[in-house]
Structure 1
Amino acid sequence: MKILSIGSFNGLSNTCLHRNWALKEIAEEIDMVNIREKQTSWLYRVANWLFQKGLPIPLPDDSNANKKINAFVKKSVNRPYDIVWIDKGLMINPDTLRNIKKVSPSTRIVSYSPDNMVLRHNQSLNYLKGISLYDIHFTTKSYVIDKLKGLGARRAVFTNKHYEHTFHYPRDLSKEELDRLGGDVGFIGIWEQERCDSILFLAKNGIKVKVYGGGKWQEYNNIENLEILPAVYSEDYSKALQAFKISLCFLRKINADLQTSRSMEIPACGGFMLAERTSEHLELFSEGLEAEFFSSNSELLQKCRYYLQHENERKQIAIGGVARCETSGYSNRDAVKRMLEIVQLNG
C-alpha cells in the first residue's frame, strides 16, 4: 500500500503524529506533508477570526502544503497513491483534491478528524468547500454522521478515539517520578468552566488535586488543596497519567463529546481513570472493572474518597483498563488498520 499522509506532525504528544506513525507501520511506501511546518502566521489568525465571525474567508496555506501535495501526486503518476490520508486538513484547498482525482482517479482521499467538524470553530472555508470531494470522512463523534452528510460528505464513518501503543503504556515509575508527577487526584488539560467547577468542589471538600494546565488555570493557584502546574508533554505526560492515584477524565462541552483522547490514554498508560459517565464510555470500559465513572459532583467526590482508601481495588481496575485497551484494539495501529480496510473494501 502506498500512502500520502498529510497532517500536523509537530510535538511528541500530538495525536496526528501518532496516527502518522501507525500509517508508517502499515504502508509499504509513504510520503508525508506537514501542514504545520511553519509557525502560524498573523494572516492565518486573522483569516480564522474572520471566518469564525461568519465571513467566507479561506485559511492561507502557511506551509505551502497544497503545492507539496500536488508535486507528490504528479511525481507518483506512474505508481499512484492508494490512499491520500488528510488529518484535519483545514487549509487543504478543493482544487488540490480535484487535482488528486484528475491525476490519479483510483486514489482514495480520506478525511480524518478527532474534532466535531460540524461546529464552526473546528471548520474552515477550505474544508467546507472540499467536503464532498473526499471519498470518506472518519469522525470520532458518533452523533454527527448525518450532519456531515448534510454538509456534503459522500460517506461518513464513526471510529472511537485511540491511543499510541509506543507512547501510551505502563512504565516502571521511580519514587522520584511518582512524587514529582503524581498525587492523589490529577487532571491534565485546558480550562473549561464545568471541569473547573468539579475540581473546585473536590478541593473544597478536602481532596488534594493537581492540575497540569496553563492559561486560565493559573487564576486558581491559591486555592487550598489545589495545585496548578504548567502543562506536561512527551514522556512526562504519559507518566503523569499513570502516577496519579486517580486520573480525572472530563469531556469538552463545547464539542458535546461522549469520549475524548484521555478516555483511551489514561487506561492505556496504566492509570486509574475516573471519567464522566456517557453511553460511549460505558461501551468502551466496564464500570468498576476497567474504569470508574461519575454523573455528578457528589458522585465524583464519593468515588474519589472511596478509591483513595481502597488501593487494591484501584490497582485492579487500572490493570483491567490496560487489558481492555489491548484486547479491544483501541491502539492507533489497530484502529488505523481497520479504517484502511474500510476504505479499500468500499473503494
Structure 2
Amino acid sequence: MTDTVLKIVFIGRYTEGRTGIVKSIYLGLEEHGHELLEINLSQRPSLIYNPHKNFGGHGPVYVKWELIKEEIIAFEPDVILFCAGGLTFEKPVLDELKKYCSIIGFTLSDPDVFPTVQSFVGEFDHHTTNSPLAIEMYKNAGIHNTHYMPFAIDSRFFTPHRPIFKYKSDVSIIGHFRPNRLETAKALQENFRCKIFGRGWPIPSMGPVYDDEWFKAMYSTKMVVNFPLTGAGYTNVKVGIFEAAATGRLIFTEYFEEMEHFFEYGKEIIAYSDQADLMKKIRYFLQHTDEAEAIGLAGQKKCADNHTWKHRLETFFKEVRLKTPEKKWPPI
C-alpha cells in the first residue's frame, strides 16, 4: 500500500517503561503521522485475561473486548494492532472484528516465544516476527501470514543527554542477568571501569534503568558490550544494538553473521570472538579514542538512515495488503 495515514488502535503493555520497545513502536507510528488510539494495558490491567499465566511474550494473553468495544467502535479503526506480550482477542471476537478492519500482531521475543504464540498468530490478518529463523518455524507450522520486521528505534534515542557522575564508565552492560553473561561481566569489572545495569545480577550492579535514567546511563559510558544469546539460547540481533548505536556509543558484540545485514563490522560496530579478544579490543579502543568515536558515529549514522521505527513501519505497511473491510463500523 501507499503512505496512507491509517487509523490504528494500538494495544500494548509498557513493561520496560517509556524507553521500552513497545512504546518505541508506538512513537514510530506517531512519527509517521498515523492516527492512534492507545490502549495502554500497563495502566488498565483489568482489561487483561490471562488464564494460562503466560508472561515474557508468551501467549495467548487475552484482551477483554467487552470493556473496550465502545471506544474502538467510536474510533472506527483501519487496523487493530496487538504489540507483543502474547496479546490477542478470543477467536470469536477476532473473527467478527476482521469483517471491519485488519488485525495485526507484532511478536518481539522470537524464537523464544514461538512454541506458544504459534497457537493463535495465524488468526491475525498479518503478523510480524523479529527473527529470520522464526519465519521458517512459522512456515513449517503452516502459518503463512508472518512478515520479518527487525528491531529499530524511535527518534528520541538520537537526542544527546549530559553524562552524570554516578553512571560514568569506560564500558557498560545494559541488560538483565543471564548465567552465560556472568564470566564476561566479572572480567569486565575486574579489568575496566565497568558499570552494569539490569535485574538479577549476583555481582555489583546499578540495577535496571528505565525512561530518562536509561538515557543518562547510556550517554555516560563510552562503550557497550552486547550479548546476542536469547534466554532460550538462540542468537539474535537484539533491540539493544540499535538503541546503543543511536546514541553513538562504540558497541562490541560476539561475532555472528546476521549482524552483517545491519552494521558493518570494523566500521560501524566491533565484533569479538571470545572473552580474551573482547578484553584486547576494549583496551585498544580505550587507547585510540578518535578511532572509537569515529566507529560509534558511523554506527549512529547507519541507525538514523536505516534503522528507525518510522522507516521499518513505512516499509511494512507498503509491503502488506490491508484488506477492504466487508462491513462499515456500526454506530455504538
- Offset of 1:41 from its aligned partner? 11
- Offset of 1:265 from its aligned partner? 0.5
Change (3 A) 1:28 1:43: closer
TM-score for both structures, normalised by structure 2 = 0.84
**SS in structure 1 of the partner of residue 162 of structure 2:** coil
- Offset of 1:316 from its aligned partner? 0.8
Q: Distance in 2 between matches of 1:48 and 1:303?
A: 41
* Alpha-carbon contact 2:10-2:81 (below 8 Å) kept: yes
Aligned length: 314
Q: Does 1:185 align with 2:157?
A: no
| Letter matched to residue 285 of structure 2 | Y
**What is the correspondence of 1:315-326 to structure 2 with a 5 Å cutoff?**
315-326=293-304
1:109-135 CA deviation, whole Å, 9 max, x = no partner? Answer: 11112111x545x765xx544322112
Counterpart residue number, 1:21? 27
Which of 78, 81, 95 in structure 2 is aligned with 1:82?
Answer: 78
**SS in structure 2 of the partner of residue 17 of structure 1:** helix
Q: Does 1:100 align with 2:101?
A: no
* Alpha-carbon contact 2:161-2:219 (below 8 Å) kept: no
* Alpha-carbon contact 2:161-2:216 (below 8 Å) kept: no
Counterpart residue number, 2:137? 147
Change (3 A) 1:75 1:42: closer
Change (3 A) 1:304 1:82: same
**SS in structure 2 of the partner of residue 132 of structure 1:** helix
Q: Distance in 1 between matches of 2:60 and 2:82?
A: 18
Q: Distance in 2 between matches of 1:83 and 1:27?
A: 14
Change (3 A) 1:324 1:276: same
Q: Distance in 2 between matches of 1:40 and 1:299?
A: 50
1:298-318 CA deviation, whole Å, 9 max, x = no partner? Answer: 111111111111111111111
Q: Does 1:220 align with 2:203?
A: yes
**What is the correspondence of 1:89-128 to structure 2 with a 5 Å cutoff?**
89-92=85-88, 93-102=90-99, 104=100, 107-116=101-110, 119-120=112-113, 124=116, 127-128=117-118
Counterpart residue number, 2:11? 6
Identity over the aligned pairs, expressed in percent? 20
Q: Distance in 2 between matches of 1:12 and 1:156?
A: 27
Change (3 A) 1:346 1:306: farther
Q: Distance in 2 between matches of 1:7 and 1:152?
A: 26
Counterpart residue number, 1:313? 291
**What is the correspondence of 1:166-205 to structure 2 with a 5 Å cutoff?**
166=156, 168-171=157-160, 173-174=162-163, 177=164, 179-204=165-190
Instruction: Quote the RMSD (CA, aligned, Å).
Output: 2.8
Counterpart residue number, 1:269? 247
Counterpart residue number, 1:224? none
Q: Distance in 1 between matches of 2:60 and 2:130?
A: 25
**SS in structure 2 of the partner of residue 138 of structure 1:** strand
- Offset of 1:250 from its aligned partner? 1.2
Counterpart residue number, 1:240? 217
Q: Distance in 2 between matches of 1:41 and 1:31?
A: 15
TM-score for both structures, normalised by structure 1 = 0.81
| Letter matched to residue 221 of structure 2 | F
Q: Distance in 1 between matches of 2:70 and 2:85?
A: 17
**What is the correspondence of 1:268-347 to structure 2 with a 5 Å cutoff?**
268-328=246-306, 330-344=307-321
* Alpha-carbon contact 1:184-1:209 (below 8 Å) kept: yes
* Alpha-carbon contact 1:263-1:281 (below 8 Å) kept: no
1:57-85 CA deviation, whole Å, 9 max, x = no partner? Answer: 964x5xx5433454345435xxx422221
Counterpart residue number, 2:193? 208
* Alpha-carbon contact 1:181-1:236 (below 8 Å) kept: no
Counterpart residue number, 2:43? 37
Counterpart residue number, 2:328? none
Q: Distance in 1 between matches of 2:298 and 2:319?
A: 29
Structure 2 unaligned blocks of 5 or more? 1-5, 325-332
Change (3 A) 1:40 1:296: farther
Structure 1 unaligned blocks of 5 or more? 222-227
Change (3 A) 1:68 1:150: farther
Q: Distance in 2 between matches of 1:240 and 1:20?
A: 23
| Letter matched to residue 78 of structure 2 | D
Q: Indicate the structure with greater helix content.
A: 1
* Alpha-carbon contact 1:185-1:247 (below 8 Å) kept: yes
